[in-house]
Amino acid sequence: MNYPFWDVPVLSGGGVIGLIAVYHLLIALFAVGGGLYLPIAERKAIREGREDWLRVLRRHAKFFLVLTAAFGTTSGVGIWFAIGLANPEATSTLIHNFVFGWAIEYVFFIVELTMAAAYYYTWDKIDRGLHLKIGYIYAASSFLTLVIINGILTFMLTPGETWLSVAGSGNEASVFWYAFFNPTYFPSLVIRTLIAWSLAGIWALVTASRIDGFAYPGLKKQIISWSAKWLIPAFVLVPFCFLWYLAMVPESNRQLLDLGISTIGQGTFTQVTRSALITVMTSATIIALVYFVAVRNSRSFNLGWAISILLLALAATGATEQAREMLRKPYVIGDFMYSNGVRKYEVAKFNSEGYLAHSIWKSKDTSSMTDVDRGELMFRGQCGACHTQTGYRGMSVLLKDRDERSIENIVGMLHAYNDDSPYRKYMPPLVGKDDEMKALVAYLKTLPAKPAK
Amino acid sequence: MFQFPTVDPIPLPAPVWLFKLLHIVTLTLHLTAVQLILGGVTVAGIWNFFGREGSSLKEASNSILKKLPTVMTYVINFGVPPLLFAQVLYGRALYTSSVLIGLYWIGVIVVLTLIYFLLYRSVDRANEGKAWWGYGIVIFAGLMYIAKVFSINMTLMLRPEDWQAIYAAGGGLGTSLPTGDPTTTPRFLFMLAGGIGLSGAAMTVISGFGDEKDTTKDVLRRWGGILAALFIALQGGAGLWVYNSQVAAVKAGLFQDPMFAYAIYAWAGLLILSVVAAAAAAFGSASRARLTSTATVLFGVLATGAFTLLRDRIRDVTLLSKGFDVWDRTVVANWSVVLLFLGLFVAALILIGYILFAIARSARQMALGATVPGQEQMMNEVLERHDDQ
Ligand code: HEM
């Protein structure tokens, strides 16, 4: 336990990251897709002399600016704060690898935000050609932020052979571009772009829903139909891209999915499949709602419906993130660092020298700690990344049918980490010396909801 | 001496000096924007409360307010790179102190979102001719919270001797906010004083643009100049207090550091220059205000740069006295990435400059050409025509 562990009851640190991430994605991908939507729509309106469209678009631009600035930027910083708290070791690895990647992303970001503000504040105040140009620069820079962050995100699942072969040697920087353009980089970029476009359409429906459909039925119908078209590319292409993506995921991770499909209905691995199924179902519902409720009945399409569609999009994003997260287990950085911050190559060292021996953290400010205290530190350091005591993946429930023997048993299995251990697929090896295992058992015994008999 | 978490085994991807340079430059920009938002909300909020409907004070308060959402954008976006570089250079200390106050640290995000949104809402209210100081109070409180948490985190990272006790007390979630560091409060007041001062300087500048009434511009220029002169001088005092609050070992270390001495002289000189320029902007002739106000802001920003350097020296000397040498790192650089970054950075600045220039030119032409008469009516006709279809 190199860093102190951030112990969030019930939710877990990972849960905090997940919540912020899903909320952020919905807005950030809109910032990318909407960035293209606005100038393209504006150009169309100008060409066709549609002042009424321009008015709607101006309102949309305002909404866009406030949403992406006040909620998008802050939630992006929020993810970063959260990963630094929940997993400082992994954050540090990412930052040491990609600090200039982030710095480059940041350059695009400054351009993007400056252009977003300029686009809104100069509406009707400058020459329209220039205004459009600002819109396109916005679109390009926001897409480029995706181009960069996608490299870092996909790296976490598939760092790729080249990077892994030098990882730990001190020469990681020499293979920066291999790590960046890692195996899942391109499929993932295409998928994210398609989703970004469809989110642009969905968020535009929010603005469109507020047009008075009885006063301006024609306008409302046209804007809705045109916005709905933005969902088509994703609808058609994402399934294929998803297969492409899976083909690039290492065999071992993919097994998680196969296992889920063949043993549906029980156990852990179905979580990946279950999440994937939720994504498929919610996406289909979105398409149906957009077509039947928005396009076909545009006049009475109201904010309530628009928000329902948005909530479905939130669910789909959440489920997809969940699947991706599960797919990566037991690693936070594929084949390099486990979710709890232990590097794969450090396992032997921790086993011979002890896990807590290298930690400067104590749970109590006393010189002598009991076994339970030490066990609590073991739990925080090695299990807390995925389990809470009583909430998310809570130990009180997972252990409720286990007595001391059977707790010793699972601790032993996690420590031995044999090739045929069923836990290998999603839990990291438990590291440390024998007395540390005893301490962990002593602590775990205190957790079950009702004492096991 | 004191224990820090072990350093990341991946070497630094560029030399320490480059990170330090980037850190100090971007942090100067962040602290400039922070001062503008702190002071801007304070002054504009107070004026909004006292200003009567239609008065110059009210108009001045609104014209300051309307710039603040954009300032906020830059507070955040110039906050990102220094945090990035600080994590690279000081991660062992900084991740640790952040976790120790974890709940408050993540709380920054919640508060930040709220006040950013309220800023936009306040602008809406101002545009509707309504008072917004009620929101102003909430925004101010939120800013205080964030600034305080930052001050606490940036000082807690320098106190490895206290980490154990805080971790044990905070129960892992980070619920105990450590107090009792004698350097936190002066650092905090230092930023607040500088905030009002630098915002005053910025007011003198905006008094030269925009389409406010002349009396309003006068308020912005005079009061801005007075606030700048007064509070920049106060910031000097707060700076002495910050220095005095350091422990003897740090003070001694600082005086052996030539960089610190240069930065002190530069800072003191720039403070005096900006106080003089501010007074000239306030009381001198209005016709020369453009020069004096630009000078005030320029000196103010440079002074911010100088004290950012001082802060940096205080941090390094303090950490060194506890066994953490920031220069002691292996470096394995990949220059292709670094150069790509630097090249893009310059290209981005040029692009932004070009666009802002083009906007200013086009806006001027549009203003000269005035609006098309009857545009509103024309639009209504268009609307009806389409809806008839
Ligand atoms: C309204 C929002 C904010 C306010 C009022 C604010 C205020 C401050 C203040 C007062 C300090 C100086 C603390 C001291 O030295 O005593 C500071 C430093 C800093 N802020 Fe902000 N901040 C804000 C937002 C942000 C955000 C969103 C980020 C990052 C994404 C950020 C990054 C930093 C960093 C990295 C430092 C110091 C770095 C260093 O010392 O190396 N700030 N901020």
User: Could you write out the DSSP letters of every residue in A362-414?
Assistant: -SSSSS---HHHHHHHHIIIIITTT--SSSTT-HHHHTTT--HHHHHHHHHHH
Residue B159 scores a pLDDT above 60: yes
Q: How is chain B split into domains, by residue range?
A: 16-324, 334-389
Span A364-376, average pLDDT: 76
Tell me how far the alpha carbon of residue B27 lies from the centroid of ligand 1, in angstroms: 8
Pocket test for ligand 1, best of B150, B310, B315 (most atoms within 8 A of CB): B150
The domain over range A344-444 is classified in CATH as 1.10.760: yes
Kindly identify which residue of chain A lies nearest to residue B379, measuring between CA atoms: A51
Provide the sign of the torsion angle of the four alpha carbons A401, A406, A412, A417, taken in this order: negative
If you search the block for the tokens 């066709």, which residue do you land on? A48
More confident residue, B142 or A232: B142
Span A231-246, average pLDDT: 79
A81/B contact by beta carbon, under 8 A: yes
Kindly identify which residue of chain B lies nearest to residue A2, measuring between CA atoms: B5
More confident residue, A390 or A190: A190
Give pLDDT, residue A404.
Answer: 82
Name the least confident of A356-365, B30-39, B82-91, B293-302: A356-365
Give pLDDT, residue A50.
Answer: 86
Give pLDDT, residue A258.
Answer: 55
Residue B382 scores a pLDDT above 70: no
Residue among B167, B344, B363 minimizing CB distance to A126 = B363
More confident residue, A421 or A116: A116
Q: How is chain A split into domains, by residue range?
A: 13-253, 344-444
Distance of CA A45 to the CA centre of its chain: 36
Give pLDDT, residue A103.
Answer: 93
Task: Report which of B140, B167, B4, B110 is spatially closest to residue A81, judged by C-alpha positions.
Answer: B110
Residue B336 scores a pLDDT above 50: yes
Residue B347 scores a pLDDT above 90: yes
Give pLDDT, residue B30.
Answer: 95
At B50, the pLDDT band (50, 70, 90 cuts) reads very high
Residue A240 scores a pLDDT above 90: no
Residue B375 scores a pLDDT above 60: no
A357/B contact by beta carbon, under 8 A: no
Regarding beta strands A337-338 and A331-333, do their DSSP bridges make them parallel or antiparallel, or are they unpaired? antiparallel
At B389, the pLDDT band (50, 70, 90 cuts) reads very low
Residue numbers in A near B96 (CB within 8 A): 3-4, 88
Tell me how far the alpha carbon of residue A125 lies from the centroid of ligand 1, in angstroms: 34
Q: Do A71 and B348 touch (CB under 8 A)?
A: no
pTM of the model: 0.90
Residue A159 scores a pLDDT above 70: yes
A383/B contact by beta carbon, under 8 A: no
Q: Do B362 and A103 touch (CB under 8 A)?
A: no
Q: To the nearest 10°, report the CA torsion of B145, B150, B153, B156.
A: -90
Residue B380 scores a pLDDT above 80: no
Q: Do A106 and B69 touch (CB under 8 A)?
A: no
The fold adopted by the segment(s) B16-324 is Formate dehydrogenase/DMSO reductase fold (1.20.1630)
Residue B354 scores a pLDDT above 90: yes
Kindly identify which residue of chain A lies nearest to residue B364, measuring between CA atoms: A126
Residue numbers in B near A80 (CB within 8 A): 83
- Percent of all residues in chain A with a pLDDT value above 90, rounded to a whole number: 21
Q: Contact B326/B319 with Cβ under 8 angstroms? A: yes
Residue numbers in A near B108 (CB within 8 A): 81
Give pLDDT, residue B1.
Answer: 55
- Mean of pLDDT over chain A: 84
B13/A contact by beta carbon, under 8 A: yes
Distance (Å) from the alpha carbon of B248 to chain A's nearest alpha carbon: 27
Span A17-33, average pLDDT: 87
A364/B contact by beta carbon, under 8 A: yes
Rounded to 5 degrees, φ, ψ at A401 are -95, 10
Tell me how far the alpha carbon of residue B33 lies from the centroid of ligand 1, in angstroms: 10
Is the beta carbon of B224 within 6 A of some atom in ligand 1?
no
Residue A341 scores a pLDDT above 50: yes
Residue among B5, B13, B333 minimizing CB distance to A96 = B13
Q: For residue range A274-304, what is the model confidence (pLDDT) as tens digits?
A: 777 777 888 888 888 877 777 777 777 788 8
Tell me how far the alpha carbon of residue B150 lies from the centroid of ligand 1, in angstroms: 6
